[in-house]
Amino acid sequence: MQQPWITLRLGQTSIRIDRRVPFIFVVCILATLSAMVINIGVGEYPIPAIDVVKTVLHIPTGEEDYNFIVNTLRLPRMLVAALVGLALGISGAIMQGLTRNPLADPSIIGISSGASLVAVSILVLFKGISSNYLPFAAFGGALLVAFAIYMLAWRGGDSPIRLILVGVGLGAITSAATSMMITFGNINDVQRALIWLTGSVYARSWGEFWPLFMWVLVFAPLACFLARDLNALNLGEDVARGLGSNVTYKRGLLLIVAVALAAATVAAAGTIGFVGLMAPHIARRLVGPDHSGMLPVAAMVGALVVVCADLVGRTLFAPIELPCGLITAAIGAPFFVYLLWRQRKS
């Protein structure tokens, strides 16, 4: 009988992945790369796709300006968009898997707001601070909110709606505190904070890219490494314990990974909402709920969503630019309502 997965065995070593994953994964990567190339090409100064690729690869195109426009201005922005989507996709998938709640998402349950609050405070209180420290500050804030949610909503009961309500409440509190920081801040610092808060990859440079890249480089592989443990926890605490999972330790580790990835995206691009909600649902549809294949696919879907949202935001009302966080919210919010409605029915 045909197995639902592909197995590679070499001596005692064996690797297993869902049959659908390799094809879907490659398609998602190609789609994301294409969207990035198109996105770099459009704008006030249009560049043909082939020249975009050539310029990125440092193959001479005969146009002197291309190198500056592509490699200095537009490429880092695109890479930030892709990495933000990738991190949010994984973060959302872990949160949904851990809480067994299809509505969980770092922006909805207030994790992102917590990250924003601390990052904005740092920006306002310490003048001219380097972007390298922002992810750490954001991580601290996100972790604080995650801990508060855990104490208030998660431990007692496992009602999905309760988690969402507590998260939304905490999000409102932290957002209010952020507004207060901004009101009292110095006008120049506030401007820097505001640009950054809107949930946009506008004007992101290599300075924002590298810190984000380092965080993703550490935590994304760690997430994939923990995928099998996430599968066990996704069956519920008791079943996972019965299967021999060290629940407290593994759950804590996964939560830290999810929070760290969400915080790194906030530090780089502000709150880009609903990507962590949508990407895992799309990925689950494509390759099933096994996280060892689902996490990488959710990551690529997330990247694709953010890059496309940015493309739409830049072209829809050009030359006026809409932040990509607005676009993802415009698609994500109705999707969230649909999930809520379906939750009620079951």
Burial 246-265 (b: 16+ CB within 10 A, else e): ebeebbebbbbbbbbbbbbb
- Least distance to another protein from the beta carbon of 329, Å? 25
Binding mask 287-326 for another protein (x = CB under 8 A): -xxx-x----------------------------------
Selected from 49, 176, 235, 337, the binder of another protein by CB under 8 A is: 235
Of residues 2 and 183, the one with the C-beta less far from another protein: 2
Stretch in the footprint of another protein (CB under 8 A) among 79-87, 97-105, 124-132, 332-340: 97-105
Residue 101: CB minimum distance to another protein, A: 11
For residues 186 and 183, give the distance between their C-alpha atoms in angstroms, rounded to a whole number.
Answer: 8
Q: Does 344 bind another protein (CB under 8 A)?
A: no
Min separation Cβ 241 and another protein, Å? 6
Q: Which of 311, 252, 251, 280 is CA-nearest to residue 87?
A: 280
Among 19, 162, 192, 241, contact with another protein (rule: CB under 8 A):
241
Q: Which of 236, 316, 318, 338 binds another protein (CB under 8 A)?
A: 236
By beta-carbon proximity to another protein, the closer residue of 172 and 239 is 239
Residue 8 — φ and ψ, nearest 5°? -110, 125
From candidates 46, 244, 344, 345, binder to another protein by CB under 8 A: 244
Nearer to another protein, 35 or 227 (CB): 227
Between 44 and 238, name the residue whose CB sits nearer to another protein: 238
Among 45, 225, 317, 338, the residue binding another protein under the rule CB under 8 A is 225
- Nearest-angstrom CA–CA distance, 328 and 306: 7
SS3 109: coil
Q: Can you tell me which residue has the tokens 């995928």?
A: 227
Binding string, residues 3-22; x marks residues near another protein by CB under 8 A? xxx-x-x--xxxxx------
Among 26, 172, 246, 334, binds another protein (CB under 8 A): 246
DSSP state at residue 106? T
Please report the beta strands in 110-217, taking only residues with DSSP state E, as ranges in sequence order. Answer: none
| The token pair that represents 287 in the structure block | 């390759």
Omega prior to 221 cis, within 30 of 0? no
* Binding-site size, another protein (CB under 8 A): 34
Q: What residue type is assigned to position 243 of the chain?
A: L
Residue 84 C-beta-side C-alpha neighbours within 13 Å: 36
- Determine the Cα–Cα distance for residues 99 and 265; give it in Å rounded to an integer: 21
Q: Name the phi and psi angles at 59, rounded to 5.
A: -95, 130
Q: Is 232 in the site for another protein (CB under 8 A)?
A: yes
242 binds another protein (CB under 8 A): yes
Q: Which helix (H) or strand (E) holds 253?
A: helix 247-269
CA quadruple 324, 326, 330, 331: dihedral sign: positive
Name the site residues for another protein (rule: CB under 8 A).
1, 3-5, 7, 9, 12-16, 97, 100, 102, 225, 228, 231-232, 234-236, 238-239, 241-246, 284, 288-290, 292
